[in-house]
């Protein structure tokens, strides 16, 4: 049968959003309502006639409600194949009535974990009867409809209204798919909690990844690729996926990827002076901190005025009018900020294609978590690169001045977010030149210096900002040639991880050039 009339419905929900309207719609079609505990009370309080589950099963709810729906009269009514004579005979023999509709959403496990509940409360919020009913109903979707999300109530009511109280196989198949996805996500969250939080495993033997589609995107990295955005279903840090889009066209795959890169970098400056990050193709092309956001934007923009066109901008402060006006001077794809004042919103309103995302806060750059990347036949999983700048070791005869040391730390923070091989020159709290994604470190150093000279030529400066700058390398210099390129560009201080078999050679070259160099003992590859 493709169309099944609904005569009996079982309702048991933790989230009671819309349940009264649904109950009234079902009653309007003459559906018998069977319910449990708090759901039954809510329906009765609304004046609806409800049959208790214990009346259906002939068995009382017990053990604080743990045992109420785990009964043959429930699961027999859900799993029976209605056109199988043997199943029909068993139903008659054991007085099992058919259940045509199940409305269930599960105990709030994720919310319980997120609020910091203790272990007994978390365990108590592992639903058993709910998933069992959902799976039974979804398996038998040829005859039974199952709804696990209140957002689907409208579609169910609409179909019943248009078909005399029945459901079609098309709707039941769609609802069954959503139901199995819901139980898979639910079990995945529980398994993750047991593995990570309860057992303290860094990498559990099985890693459930449960995601929910938040948006279908116009295309992927290229127009011939399809794409969608999925957000994590369990507790997670707020980020681009949870930001409020105030204006502009819908976000593309590349917009989301680049905006995430910008947000991750600006998060490093969450507690710093007003700071601005400009990102292009997931690499920073300009970063600066200053007394005001407007000044920080001007310094970041000056680092690479060409790449900034069509870029992504992230701020660590509330967007103000002056900064919004400055940003509006060129085409910008996306601006990410914790908030924006009314004057800034008014300025951006004239830029219809500019997307403005307000995050409400910036994520903690030091937070823990895992990162995953798909490869052929599997996934690579690692912990986040949340390593803070460790205690620095001076390895040259000359130690850096306080100003050089500050620039070293700034350049090192930015280099952490530049695709390897990464070289970052910085001076007075802003980037001077950035070399990214080259196959050797020497070329990155040369490209960064060339970009700094080009920026100086465009700005009309007498010298590039690499003169007197600090330079950061995301990994050690395997040879002295990369360091010498930095010397040629005018750098006076270097920060790098160290650890090369030629460290002595590199240190000697730095001493000969009169440089100050510090080792971090930590690298920041980003592929």
Distance (Å, whole) CA 373 – CA 458: 39
* Cα–Cα dist 509/492, whole Å: 12
* CA–CA dist 322, 304 (Å, integer): 21
Going by C-alpha positions, the residue among 366, 340, 357 that lies closest to residue 258 is: 357
238 is catalytic: no
Strands (E), 283-344: 283-289, 311-315, 332-337
**Sheet architecture: strand order including 430-435:** 244-247, 355-358, 332-337, 311-315, 275-280, 283-289, 430-435, 423-427, 470-473, 493-496, 516-519, 393-394
Q: How far apart, in whole angstroms, are the C-alpha atoms of residue 180 and residue 161? A: 26
- With a CB cutoff of 8 Å and minimum separation 6, the contacts of 144 are 4, 78, 99, 100, 101, 102, 136, 137, 172
Q: How far apart are CA 316 and CA 319, in angstroms?
A: 9
Gap between the Cα atoms of 262 and 266, Å rounded = 6
Q: Max alpha carbon distance in the chain (Å)? A: 96
Instruction: Say what angle helices 293-303 and 441-459 make with each other, to 10 degrees.
Output: 120
CA 74 to chain centre: 39
Helices marked H in 19-143:
19-28, 37-45, 53-57, 72-79, 85-93, 109-114, 119-124, 129-139
400 and 408 in contact (C-beta within 8 Å)?
Answer: yes
Beta strand 101-105 with 145-147 is parallel
160-189: string of b/e by CB count within 10 Å (b at 16+)? beeeebbbeeebbeebbebbbbbbebbbbb
CA atoms of 440 and 146, how far apart (whole Å): 57
Burial of 399 (C-beta count, 10 Å sphere; 0-12/13-18/19+)? middle
Task: Report the b/e string of 296-324 with b at 16+ CB within 10 A.
Answer: bbbbbbbbbbebbeebbbbbbbebbbbbb
Identify the active-site residue in 139, 173, 236, 351. 139
Question: Which of 29, 173, 281, 351 does the annotation list as catalytic?
Answer: 281
Half-sphere exposure of 254 (CA within 13 A, CB side): 14
- Say if residues 81 and 87 touch (Cβ distance below 8 Å): yes
The catalytic residues are 139, 281
């Amino acid at each position: 049968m493709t169309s099944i009339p609904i005569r009996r419905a079982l309702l048991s929900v933790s989230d009671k959003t819309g349940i009264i309207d649904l109950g009234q719609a079902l009653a309007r079609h003459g559906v018998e309502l069977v319910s449990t505990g708090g759901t039954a009370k809510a329906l009765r309080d609304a004046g609806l006639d409800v049959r208790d589950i214990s009346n259906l099963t002939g068995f009382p709810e017990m053990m604080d409600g743990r045992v109420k729906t785990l009964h043959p009269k429930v699961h027999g009514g859900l799993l029976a194949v209605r056109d199988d004579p043997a199943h029909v005979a068993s139903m008659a023999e054991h007085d099992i009535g058919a259940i045509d509709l199940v409305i269930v959403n599960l105990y709030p496990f994720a919310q319980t974990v997120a609020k910091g509940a203790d272990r007994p409360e978390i365990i108590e919020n592992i639903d058993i009867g709910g998933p069992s009913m959902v799976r039974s109903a979804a398996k038998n979707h040829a005859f039974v409809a199952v709804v696990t999300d209140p957002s689907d109530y409208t579609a169910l009511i609409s179909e019943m209204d248009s078909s005399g109280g029945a459901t079609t196989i098309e709707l039941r198949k769609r609802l069954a798919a959503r139901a199995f996805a819901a139980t898979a996500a639910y079990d995945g969250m529980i398994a993750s909690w047991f593995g990570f939080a309860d057992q303290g495993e860094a990498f559990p033997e099985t890693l459930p990844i449960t995601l929910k589609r938040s948006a279908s995107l116009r295309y992927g990295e290229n127009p011939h690729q399809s794409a969608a955005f999925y957000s994590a279903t369990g507790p997670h840090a707020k980020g681009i996926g949870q930001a409020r889009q105030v204006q502009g066209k819908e976000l593309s795959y590349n917009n989301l990827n680049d905006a995430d890169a910008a947000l991750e970098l600006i998060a490093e400056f969450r507690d710093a002076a007003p700071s601005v990050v400009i990102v292009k193709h997931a690499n920073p092309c300009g970063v600066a901190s200053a007394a005001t956001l407007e000044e920080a934007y001007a310094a970041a923009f000056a680092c690479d005025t060409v790449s900034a066109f069509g870029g992504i901008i992230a701020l660590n402060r509330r967007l103000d009018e002056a900064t919004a006006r400055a940003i509006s001077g060129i085409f910008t794809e996306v601006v990410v900020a914790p908030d924006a004042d009314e004057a800034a919103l008014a300025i951006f309103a004239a830029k219809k294609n500019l997307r403005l995302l307000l995050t409400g806060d910036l994520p903690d750059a030091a937070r823990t978590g895992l990162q995953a990347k798909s490869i052929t036949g599997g996934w690579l999983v690692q912990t986040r690169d949340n390593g803070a700048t460790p205690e620095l070791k001076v390895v040259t005869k000359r130690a850096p001045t306080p100003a050089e040391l500050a620039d070293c730390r700034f350049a090192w923070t930015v280099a952490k977010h530049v695709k390897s091989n990464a070289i970052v020159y910085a001076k007075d709290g802003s980037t001077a030149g950035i070399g990214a994604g080259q196959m050797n470190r020497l070329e990155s150093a040369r490209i960064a210096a060339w970009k700094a000279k080009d920026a100086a030529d465009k700005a009309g400066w007498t010298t590039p900002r690499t003169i007197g700058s600090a330079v950061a390398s995301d990994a050690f210099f395997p040879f002295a040639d990369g360091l010498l390129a930095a010397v040629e560009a005018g750098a006076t201080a270097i920060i790098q991880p160290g650890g090369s078999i030629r460290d002595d050679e590199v240190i000697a070259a730095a001493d000969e050039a009169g440089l100050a160099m510090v080792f971090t003992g930590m690298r920041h590859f980003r592929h």
